Amino acid sequence: MSAGSKAPQPLNGLRMVEFTHMVMGPTCGMVLADMGAEVVKVEPIDGDRTRHLLGAGAGFFPLFNRNKKSIALDLRSPEGAEIARRLCAQADVVAENFKPGTMDKYGLDYASLSQVNPRLIYVSLKGFLPGPYDHRTALDEVVQMMGGLAYMTGRPGDPLRAGTSVNDIMGGMFGAIGALGALVQRGITGRGMEVQSALFENNVFLVGQHMLQYAITGVAAEPMPNRISAWTVYDVFTVKDGEQIFLAAVSDAQWKVFCNALGFDDLFNDPAYGSNNDRVRERPRLMPVLRERLALRTAAELADLFERHGLPFAPIRKPEELFDDPHLLATGSLADVRLTDGPKAGQTAKATLFPITMDGERLGVRMDPPRMGEHTADLLHGLGYTETDIAALRSRHVVA
Q: Where are the alpha helices (DSSP H) in 190-275?
A: 199-206, 208-217, 252-262, 265-268
How do 357-358 and 361-362 pair as beta strands? antiparallel
CA angle 331–302–272, rounded 5-degree value: 120
Contact 120, 113 (CB under 8 A): yes
Using DSSP, state whether 235 is helix, strand or coil.
strand
Task: Give the count of beta carbons closer than 10 Å to the beta carbon of residue 397.
Answer: 13
**Distance (Å, rounded) from C-alpha 259 to C-alpha 289?**
13
Residue type at 106? Y
Task: Give the count of beta carbons closer than 10 Å to the beta carbon of residue 260.
Answer: 12
Element housing 238 (H / E): strand 233-238
Contact 258, 311 (CB under 8 A): yes
**Distance (Å, rounded) from C-alpha 25 to C-alpha 134?**
17
Which CATH number is 229-319's, of 3.30.1540.10, 1.10.3290.10, 3.90.230.10, 3.30.565.10?
3.30.1540.10
Task: Give the count of beta carbons closer than 10 Å to the beta carbon of residue 121.
Answer: 27
Contact 340, 66 (CB under 8 A): no
Average pLDDT of adjacent 10-residue blocks, the chain of 400 residues: 69 98 97 98 95 93 97 97 98 96 97 98 97 95 97 94 96 98 98 98 97 95 84 94 96 97 97 95 95 97 97 96 96 96 94 95 96 97 97 97
Residue 359 confidence (pLDDT): 95
278: alpha, beta or left, given left = phi > 0 and alpha = psi -120 to 50?
Answer: alpha
Using DSSP, state whether 101 is helix, strand or coil.
coil
**No. of helices (H) and no. of strands (E), the chain:** 17, 13
The answer for residues whose C-beta is within 8 angstroms of residue 190's C-beta and 6 or more apart is: 119
**Distance (Å, rounded) from C-alpha 243 to C-alpha 249?**
20
329 alpha-carbon distance from chain centroid: 21
CATH topology of domain 15-206+325-395: Rossmann fold (3.40.50)
Residue 5 confidence (pLDDT): 64
| Residues paired with 234 in a beta bridge | 248
Residue 1 confidence (pLDDT): 36
Using DSSP, state whether 154 is helix, strand or coil.
coil
Residue of 271, 276, 269, 268 whose CA lies nearest to 233: 276
Contact 231, 249 (CB under 8 A): yes
Q: Where are the alpha helices (DSSP H) in the chain?
A: 24-34, 60-64, 78-89, 110-116, 140-146, 149-153, 166-189, 199-206, 208-217, 252-262, 265-268, 276-281, 283-294, 299-308, 326-330, 376-382, 387-395
Phi, psi dihedral angles at 95 (to 5 degrees):
-130, 145
- What residue segments make up the domains of the chain, in order of their start? 15-206+325-395, 229-319
Residue type at 151? Y
Residue 192 confidence (pLDDT): 98
